[in-house]
Chain A
Amino acid sequence: MLETMMGLLDPVFWGGLLASTLRVSVPLVLCALAATLSERAGVIDLGLEGKMLMAAFAAAATGAATGSLPLALAAALAVGVALSMLHGYACVSHTGDQVVLGMALSMIAAGLTVVLGIAWFKQGGQTPPLSDAVRLAPWGTGLATALQALPVVGAGLGTVLGQGLLGHNVLVYAAFALVPGVWWLLYRTRFGLRLRATGENPAMVDAAGLSVKALRYSALALNGALCALAGGYLVLAQNPSFVPNMTAGRGYMALAAMIFGKWHPVSALWACLLFGFLDAAAIRLQGVSLPALLGGGAVPVQAIQALPYLLTVVLLAGFIGHSRAPAALGVPYLKER
Chain B
Amino acid sequence: MSQAVELPKWLDVVVLPLVNLLMALAVCALVVAGIGLNPVQVLTLLVKGAFGSASGLSYTLYYATTFVFTGLAVAVAFHGGLFNIGGEGQAMMGGLGCALVALALDQHLSAPLLLPLMVLAGALFGMAWALVPAALQAWRGSHIVITTIMFNFIASALLAYLLVNVLKEPGNMTVESRGFSEAAQMPGMHQALAWLGIEWPRTPLNLSVLLAAVSAVGVWLFLWKSRAGYELRAVGHAPEAAHYAGINPRLQVLVAMGISGALAGQVGLNELAGVQHKLLLDYVVGAGFTGIAVSLIGRNHPLGIVLAALLFGALFQGGAELAFEIPAFSRDMVTTLQGLIVLFSGAMARVAAPALAKLYQRLRPAGAAHA
Chain A residues in contact with chain B, CB under 8 A? 46, 90-91, 93-101, 103-112, 114-116, 118-120, 125, 244, 249, 252-253, 255-256, 259, 298, 300, 302-303, 305-306, 309-310, 312-313, 316-318, 325, 334-335
**Contact A313:B142 (CB < 8 A) given known A104-B346, A110-B332, A115-B332:** yes
Name which residue of chain B comes closest to A312, CB basis: B150
CB-CB under 8 A from A120, the residues of chain B are 35
Q: Which of A96, A101, A108, A255: most chain B Cβ within 10 A?
A: A108
B window 96-133: CB within 8 A of A: 133
Contact yes or no, A103 B147, CB < 8 A: no
Report whether A96 and B157 are in contact in the complex, using a CB–CB cutoff of 8 Å.
no
Which one, B31, B146, B336, B337, contacts A259 given CB within 8 A? Answer: B146
A-B contact pairs, 16 of them (CB 8 A): A99-B85, A101-B347, A104-B347, A105-B343, A109-B339, A110-B339, A111-B336, A112-B332, A115-B35, A118-B330, A256-B146, A309-B151, A313-B142, A316-B146, A334-B1, A335-B1
Shortest Cβ distance from residue B279 to the other chain A in the assembled complex, whole angstroms = 15
Other contacts beyond A101-B343, A103-B292, A303-B157: 17, CB < 8 A: A94-B350, A98-B347, A99-B145, A104-B340, A104-B343, A107-B336, A108-B343, A118-B328, A118-B330, A120-B35, A125-B330, A125-B332, A259-B146, A313-B150, A313-B151, A313-B154, A317-B142
- A94 and B332 form a contact (CB under 8 A): no
Tell me the minimal C-beta distance from B230 to chain A in angstroms. 25
Q: Does B349 contact A (CB under 8 A)?
A: yes
Shortest CB-to-CB span from B160 to chain A, Å, is 5
Q: Are A93 and B328 in contact (CB under 8 A)?
A: no
Cα-based distance from A107 to B24 in the complex (angstroms): 13
Interface of B, helix, strand, loop or mixed by DSSP: helix
Q: How many whole Å from B324's CB to the nearest CB in chain A?
A: 14
Nearest chain A residue, comparing its CB with the CB of B141:
A318
Cα(A306)–Cα(B333), bound, Å: 31
In the bound assembly, the distance between CA atoms of A46 and B330 in angstroms comes to 26
A151 to B347, CA, bound (A): 62
Q: Is residue B22 within 8 Å, beta carbon to beta carbon, of the partner chain?
A: no
**Scoring B residues 130 to 164 as 1 if CB is less than 8 Å from chain A, else 0, what string do you get?**
00010010001111011101110110011011001
Could you tell me if B347 and A96 are in contact, using CB atoms closer than 8 angstroms? yes
Question: How far, in angstroms, from A116 to B30 measured CA to CA in the complex?
Answer: 12
| Chain B residues packing against A (C-beta within 8 Å) | 1-3, 31, 35-36, 83, 85, 133, 136, 140-143, 145-147, 149-151, 153-154, 157-158, 160-161, 164-165, 289, 292-293, 296, 328, 330, 332-340, 342-343, 346-351
Across the interface, do B339 and A108 meet the contact criterion of CB distance under 8 Å? yes
CB-defined contacts of B346 to chain A, threshold 8 Å: 96-97, 100-101, 103-104
Q: Which of B136, B347, B349 contacts A316 (CB 8 A)?
A: B136
**Chain A contacts of B146 at CB under 8 A?**
255-256, 259, 312, 316
Contacts of A256 in B (CB 8 A): 146, 150
A281 to chain B, nearest CB (A): 15
Q: How far is the CB of A80 from chain B (nearest CB, A)?
A: 17
Please name all residues of chain A whose beta carbon is closer than 8 Å to the beta carbon of B149 when the two chains form the complex.
46, 252, 255
Kindly report which residue of chain B lies nearest to residue A337, judged by CB atoms: B3
List chain B residues, Cβ under 8 A from A298: 165
Complex-state Cα separation, A253 to B156, whole angstroms: 14
| Residues of the B chain whose Cβ atoms lie less than 8 Å from the Cβ of A335 | 1
- Return A28 CB to nearest CB of chain B, in Å: 14
The reply to whether B147 and A316 form a contact with Cβ atoms under 8 Å apart is yes
- Name the residue of chain B whose CB is nearest to the CB of A44: B145
B342 touches A107 (CB 8 A): yes
Distance of A316 Cα from B135 Cα, bound (Å): 12
CB-based contact A306/B157 at 8 Å: yes
Decide: A96 near B349, CB < 8 A? Known: A104-B339, A104-B343, A118-B328.
yes
Q: Which of B3, B85, B328, B330 has the most CB of A within 10 A?
A: B330
Q: List the B side residues contacting A119 at CB < 8 Å.
A: 35-36, 328
Contacting pair A302 B164 (CB below 8 A):
yes
- Chain A residues with Cβ below 8 Å from B337 are 111
Pairwise interchain contact A252-B1, C-beta atoms closer than 8 A: no
Most buried by A among B83, B153, B164, B350: B153
CA distance A93 to B348 in the complex (A): 10
Min CB distance A56 to B, Å, is: 16
Bound complex: CA of A127 vs CA of B128, how far in Å? 42
Q: Do A112 and B336 have beta carbons less than 8 Å apart?
A: yes
A31 to chain B, nearest CB (A): 14
Task: Please name all residues of chain B whose beta carbon is closer than 8 Å to the beta carbon of A90 when the two chains form the complex.
Answer: 343, 347-348, 351
**A254 to B1 alpha-carbon distance, docked (Å):** 31
Contact between chains at A115 and B347 (CB < 8 Å): no
Chain B contacts for A317, CB-based, 8 A: 136, 140, 142
Most buried by B among A98, A104, A105, A253: A104
Cβ contact within 8 Å between A95 and B83: no
